[in-house]
Amino acid sequence: METLQTSCDSAYPQDWDPNPNNLPGGDQHPHTLEFTTQSPIDPDCPVERQICLEPLPVTPANNARIVIPSDFSLNTSWRDRLEAARETLTIPQVWEILDLEGTPGTSCNSPFRRDLRPSFGITPDGQRWRDFGSDEGGDVFDFIATALEIPIGDAMRLGIHIAESGVVPPGLSPASYASKRQDEVLKEKEQQRKSWPPMTAPTDEELQIIADLRGLSVEGLRLAVEDGILVTTTWYRDRAWCVRSACGRNCQARLLTGKPWGIIDGKAKTLPGSVASTPIGLSTDRPIIVLCEGGPDMLAAYCCIRDLGLRNQVGVVGMMGTSCNFKPSELEQLAGKRVRIFVHSDKVGKNAGSKWAKQLQSAGVMVDGFSFEEAIREDNASVKDLNDLVRLPRCETSSSFMRNAFDFSN
C-alpha cells in the first residue's frame, strides 16, 4: 500500500513585502528574457501534450473577486518560500491552471490576446515568457499577474499558495482574451460532439476481442457495459472500443485491432469535441471508488471487482490523462466517499496520483494510493499498472496483489 504524500500547509509569513526588490511601482522585474530557441515543438512527437508538465487543480469562477491568501506565519522566511515557488511552478503549469486557450510552447499563440500567428514563447525550462506582439514578458509571477490583471505582489502571494498547497483559492478567473472565449470554445465542442458516430453496446464478439487484447475477462467487461462506460463505434471506417462519460462530453477510443491510430494520435484517441478533463464513471453511487488512469485500467478494475464480488460496494472512475484535474463540482460528487488511486509506476503517473490526492483531500475525501511496481512480470520487469497486473498468469502472488489492492478494511 502506498500512501500518497500531500501537503496542505496554510501558514504564511505576516511580514509579506509585495515589492521585495523595491522596484518602482512594484510591478516589474529587472530580468531580460533569453531564449535558447524559438523553433516550434515537433508536432509529430508522440506525446500526450507538447509540453509534458503537470498542471495543478483549478477552481474557476466567472467575474468573481480573487481572494489572495495573506495569513503568513513567522516561522519561515517568505523570501525562501517565494524562491521555492519560483522553482516549483512553471509557466505551462500556470497556463493549465487558468485553463487558457491554446498549447504552451517555445513558439505559440499568445493566451492574452487575439494572435493569428504565433508570437508568444516560453523558454524550454518553462520559467520565462515573452509576448513579442506586445513586448511583455517575465517570470511565472509576471505571467500570473498578466493573466489575472492583478498587482505583482498579489501574484507572488498567489503563486506561493498554489505551489505549496496544490490548490487555488475560490474566485480565480483569468481576465485574458482567452478566458472570454471559454463559453465560445465550449459551444464549439458541443457542435463537434453532434457529429460523433452512433455508439452502441459491444457485441459478444467485440467483447471477446477486447478481452483478448487487454488480457481481461468478458464477464468483467460486461459490468462496464452495464454502467454505460464501455461502448463501441465506427470512426472513419475503423471499428473501435470507447470509454465514455455518462454526461456524453468525454469519449476516448481505441482500435479493436489494438494498433495505433497514427503517429500523432497513438493508441488512445480523444474524440474531437470532448472535454478531455471530464472524469469517466463519476456518476456512480457506490460508497468506495477506485480512481484509474486511462481506459484499460478502468476495464481491468471492473474485472477485479467482478472476480472479488465487490459489484455493490466499489465503483470505477477514470481520468483520461495525467494532465486532467477535478473541477469543484466533480469533487462535490465524491464528497463523503472513500477513494483509492491506482498509481502508475512511472514518474508522471506518480506525480498525477499525488496531484489528484491533493485535490480530493481539499474536498474532504478520504483518499489513499496503491502501486503495483513491487509485483514482477514474467520478463522480470515491474508491473506498471492494474491492467498489467491482471494480464499476469493467475498465481498466488498476482492474486494476493489483487486482493490487497481492493482491500478497504483499513
The residue that leads in pLDDT, 34 or 392, is: 392
Q: Is pLDDT above 60 for 65?
A: no
289: pLDDT confidence band, cut at 50, 70 and 90?
very high
DSSP letter for 196, please.
Answer: P
Overall average pLDDT of the 28-35 stretch:
35
- Per-residue pLDDT, 339: 96
359: pLDDT confidence band, cut at 50, 70 and 90?
confident
| Cβ atoms of residues 92 and 53 within 8 Å | yes
From residue 52, alpha-carbon distances to 35, 326, 347 in Å are 19, 18, 12
Q: Is pLDDT above 60 for 3?
A: no
Which pairs with CB-CB distance under 8 Å and at least 24 residues apart come from 266-272? 266/46, 268/294, 268/295, 268/320, 269/235, 269/240, 270/320, 271/193, 271/196, 271/235, 271/242, 272/192, 272/195
Written as nine digits, the cell of 375 is: 509485483
- Per-residue pLDDT, 118: 86
Q: Give the integer Cα–Cα distance in Å for 63 and 219.
A: 49
Q: Is pLDDT above 60 for 30?
A: no
- Per-residue pLDDT, 173: 59
Written as nine digits, the cell of 321 is: 490523462
Q: Give the integer Cα–Cα distance in Å for 366 and 406.
A: 15
pTM as predicted: 0.61
Quote the percentage of the chain above a pLDDT of 70.
76
State in Å, rounded, how far the first CA of the chain is from the last one.
11
Written as nine digits, the cell of 163 is: 505551489
Quote the percentage of the chain above a pLDDT of 90.
42
Per-residue model confidence as pLDDT tens digits over 183-220: 677 788 899 999 999 999 999 999 999 999 999 999 99
Average pLDDT, the chain: 78
- Per-residue pLDDT, 201: 97
Q: Is 124 exposed, middle or buried (0-12, 13-18, 19+ CB in 10 A)?
A: middle
- Per-residue pLDDT, 171: 62
408: pLDDT confidence band, cut at 50, 70 and 90?
very high
Written as nine digits, the cell of 324 is: 486532467
Overall average pLDDT of the 269-273 stretch:
92
Q: Give the integer Cα–Cα distance in Å for 53 and 70.
A: 28
The residue that leads in pLDDT, 228 or 5, is: 228
Q: Is pLDDT above 70 for 52?
A: no
From residue 170, alpha-carbon distances to 12, 158, 337 in Å are 18, 12, 23
The residue type found at 108 is C
The residue that leads in pLDDT, 83 or 1, is: 83
From residue 6, alpha-carbon distances to 53, 58, 83, 134, 339 in Å are 18, 17, 20, 39, 15
Q: Is pLDDT above 80 for 307?
A: yes
Q: Is pLDDT above 80 for 306?
A: yes
CB atoms within 10 A of CB 352: 23
Helix (H, G, I), strand (E, B) or coil at 271: coil
The mean-pLDDT minimum among 19-23, 118-122, 383-387 falls in 19-23
- Per-residue pLDDT, 126: 92
Q: Is pLDDT above 80 for 223?
A: yes
Ordered by where they begin, the domains of the chain are: 41-180 (3.90.580.10), 204-405 (3.40.1360.10)
356: pLDDT confidence band, cut at 50, 70 and 90?
very high
- Per-residue pLDDT, 302: 97
The residue type found at 184 is E
- Per-residue pLDDT, 174: 57
Per-residue model confidence as pLDDT tens digits over 131-185: 887 778 899 999 988 888 778 888 888 888 888 877 666 666 555 444 445 667 7
